[in-house]
Every structure is written in structure tokens, then in C-alpha cells.
């Protein structure tokens, strides 16, 4: 496998990792509400979810989706339902006072935040198709054994790092002060965007 092919996979996947979607949206919200440290745990879950879909694509799940599109449709609707459920929760609790919100998030462990990141990423099965296309384009059939764990590590690092960057930006004190004053508006914007992403997942 050439260095050029590996670099192409890296940069194409990096562009996908930083593109707006449910994972990036949740990273921004977590950094804003709970700070950078919690954003790191969420980001690690997001990265692991991306690595799972990359591994699934390497094992041919993207081909299975093409052969049995009903499976992809079922997974998309299940993922969309999860995103819409989270959006409704955000919208309903948007007017809650800050002290109530803090009490709810304080009881959530780092492992719980990690699981949210993992679930958000796994709620969207479309990355398996994306990874399958990238691998078919850039990964030669005779790729050496080391290439596969290297690519999975690349995906894990890219998605985790991009989500951490977003969480870090939104955890800045100035941004968090603005959130305190406009909590209801912020939460309803986040909820609305997550609902739109859920509908987009279901309809495309």
C-alpha cells in the first residue's frame, strides 16, 4: 500500500469527521454545558463509534447494505428515532433553570457521557457506506495486514480529535457566559438542529 493511498484516506476521512452532523452538534453542546473535560469523554465515544463503522465497512457491511437496502432503511429509521427522541428532550427541558440542569448533568458519569457519544455516532449507519466507498477507491485489495489497524486508528483519532476541538471551542468561558443568559434559546436551537438531522437521516 502506497503512502499516497494512506494519505488520501486520511484527508478524505478527516473532512468527513469535521463536517457538521449529530456528533459535532453534541460535542458543541457538551462543551458548552458541561465543559471541556466532559467533551473529551464524549469525543472518545464518537471516535469509537466511527471506528466501528469503519470496521464494519472493512468486513463488507456496506456491500450488505447495497444487497439488502431494507436493512439500511431499518437502521436509518432506528437512528433517526433516537436523534428525534434526544431533540425532544432538549426542547422540553430548554426552559429548566440552570440549577436544575446542573443537577441533572452532575449525576452523569464520564462513562455515561462516553456512551452518549458512542450512541450518537452509532445512530447513523450511513458512515458504513461512506467508508466502504473510500476503501474501494483508495484501499488496494492486496493491502498489507498493518494497513487495517492503522486505518481504524486513523478514524478513531480523526473523529475524536475533531469532536474535542469543537467541544474545546464551545467550552470557552465567554461562550459559556452567553449560554447562561440565553439557555432556552441555545437549547432549542440545538434541539431543532438535532431534529432536522434526524429527519434528514430518515429521508435520505
State which residues of the chain have pLDDT below 70: 1, 62, 98-108, 180
Q: Which three cell numbers stand for residue 67?
A: 444487497
pLDDT of residue 113: 93
Q: What is the pTM of this model?
A: 0.82
Q: What's the domain range around 80?
A: 3-203
Helix-strand-coil percent breakdown of the chain, rounded to 5? 85, 0, 15
pLDDT in tens, 3-22: 777 888 888 888 888 887 88
> How far apart, in Å, are the Cα atoms of 72 and each of 46, 124, 134, 169, 202?
20, 10, 18, 34, 10
Count of domains forming the chain: 1
Amino acid at each position: 500500500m502506497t503512502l499516497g493511498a494512506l494519505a488520501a484516506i486520511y484527508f478524505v476521512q478527516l473532512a468527513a469527521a469535521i463536517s457538521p452532523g449529530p456528533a459535532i452538534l453534541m460535542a458543541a453542546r457538551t462543551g458548552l454545558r458541561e465543559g471541556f473535560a466532559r467533551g473529551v469523554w464524549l469525543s472518545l465515544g464518537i471516535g469509537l463509534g466511527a471506528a466501528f463503522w469503519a470496521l464494519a465497512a472493512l468486513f463488507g457491511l456496506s456491500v450488505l447494505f447495497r444487497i439488502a437496502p431494507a436493512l439500511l432503511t431499518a437502521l436509518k429509521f432506528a437512528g433517526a428515532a433516537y436523534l428525534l427522541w434526544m431533540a425532544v428532550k432538549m426542547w422540553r427541558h430548554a426552559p429548566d433553570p440552570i440549577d436544575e440542569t446542573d443537577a441533572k448533568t452532575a449525576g452523569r458519569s464520564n462513562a455515561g457521557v462516553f456512551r452518549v457519544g458512542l450512541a450518537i455516532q452509532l445512530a447513523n449507519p450511513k458512515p458504513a457506506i461512506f467508508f466502504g466507498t473510500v476503501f474501494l477507491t483508495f484501499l488496494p485489495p492486496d493491502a498489507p495486514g498493518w494497513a487495517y489497524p492503522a486505518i481504524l486508528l486513523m478514524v478513531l483519532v480523526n473523529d475524536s480529535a475533531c469532536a474535542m476541538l469543537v467541544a474545546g471551542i464551545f467550552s470557552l468561558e465567554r461562550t459559556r457566559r452567553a449560554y447562561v443568559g440565553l439557555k432556552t434559546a441555545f437549547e432549542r436551537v440545538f434541539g431543532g438542529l438535532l431534529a432536522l438531522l434526524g429527519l434528514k437521516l430518515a429521508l435520505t
